[in-house]
Structure formats: structure tokens, C-alpha cells
Amino acid sequence: MDLSHFDEQGASRMVDVSQKPTTLRMARASAVVQMQPETLSRIQTDSFAKGNVKEVARLAGIMATKKTGELIPLCHPLGIDAVEVSFADLPTSELRIEATVRVHGRTGVEMEALTAVSVAALTIYDMCKSIDRAMVIHSIQLEEKTGGKSGPFLRTPTKNHED
């Protein structure tokens, strides 16, 4: 498989997507923040002086999605059509974050969805670190994508990547 971000001489380049058709593209990514049970309980009951942890993290994820082209060197800046960030409390004192991003464009939004969950997870860490510096952010991964030449992708659970 060729690496499209390098030319024939090995120099970095932004992929030319000008000839690709505009299609509806969607990507869904997830991340998990592992924490102490008390930390998750305080998030659930909105007991942080800094505010509602999930809502601040949701806004951070949405904002990060729109900045992905500025953060990832060879990523195209995109006019995002929609971003959804959601949370699920897991019974293992973990908080699962999921982001779904949609765009009508010439390139996919995988990096935008991955950036959304990453920044949302970092925001949770930032807001909760005063009571739980041992939090662990893990399992940042693409779950699904549709649209584009490469076709659809749907992650199948494996022993190392189960939700």
C-alpha cells in the first residue's frame, strides 16, 4: 500500500483531492477514560466546581473537530456538516466517549472524529485531575466510516479492542 502523504522523492505533501467527487462522509470514533469510582460518581451527579464535566467535554470535542486541519499537519481543513459527542458510563469505573462526524466533501472525517474523542477525553482529565490524577485515557479508535473510494469500515470487536 502506498503512503499518499509522500511524493515519489519521499517529501511530505497534502494529498490532492481536487478531482475526487464530493460525497457524504461519516466517521465514528471512541475513547475511554478509566477513573476511580468516586470520580465517575461525581461526574454523574455534576459535583465539580468547574461545571458539568460531560457538557464541557462535549463542547471541547465539537470545537476540536473544527480545528483538526490546524492540528494535524497534512489533514485537509473541512467545513464540517455535523458533530455529535456522546458519553456512556461503563460498569468498570470508565467513561466511554463517542463522536460521529459528517461532511459532504472530497475527503473523509476519520481524523476529525478521532480528534473529537481525544480532546473530549483530555478535557475530562483536566476537569477531574484535582481529585484523580491516576485517570487513564485509552482505546482511542475508529469504530466506523462510510463514504469515499475506500468504502465502508466497521470495527469488529477483538480481544484487545472490545468496548
Cβ-contact 56, 50 below 8 angstroms: yes
Cβ-contact 25, 145 below 8 angstroms: yes
Is 80 exceeded by the pLDDT of residue 54? yes
How far, in Å, CA of 120 to CA of 114, rounded? 10
How far, in Å, CA of 138 to CA of 54, rounded? 17
- What's the rounded mean pLDDT across residues 66-84? 96
Q: What is the pLDDT of residue 76?
A: 94
Is residue 48 packed enough to be buried (19+ CB in 10 Å), middle (13-18) or exposed (0-12)?
A: middle
Is 50 exceeded by the pLDDT of residue 14? yes
How far, in Å, CA of 43 to CA of 78, rounded? 32
pTM of the model: 0.90
Cβ-contact 81, 104 below 8 angstroms: yes
What is the set of active-site residues?
126
Q: What is the pLDDT of residue 3?
A: 59
Residue 159: pLDDT band by 50, 70, 90 thresholds? low
How far, in Å, CA of 4 to CA of 123, rounded? 32
How far, in Å, CA of 142 to CA of 161, rounded? 11
How far, in Å, CA of 105 to CA of 55, rounded? 28
DSSP state of 113: H
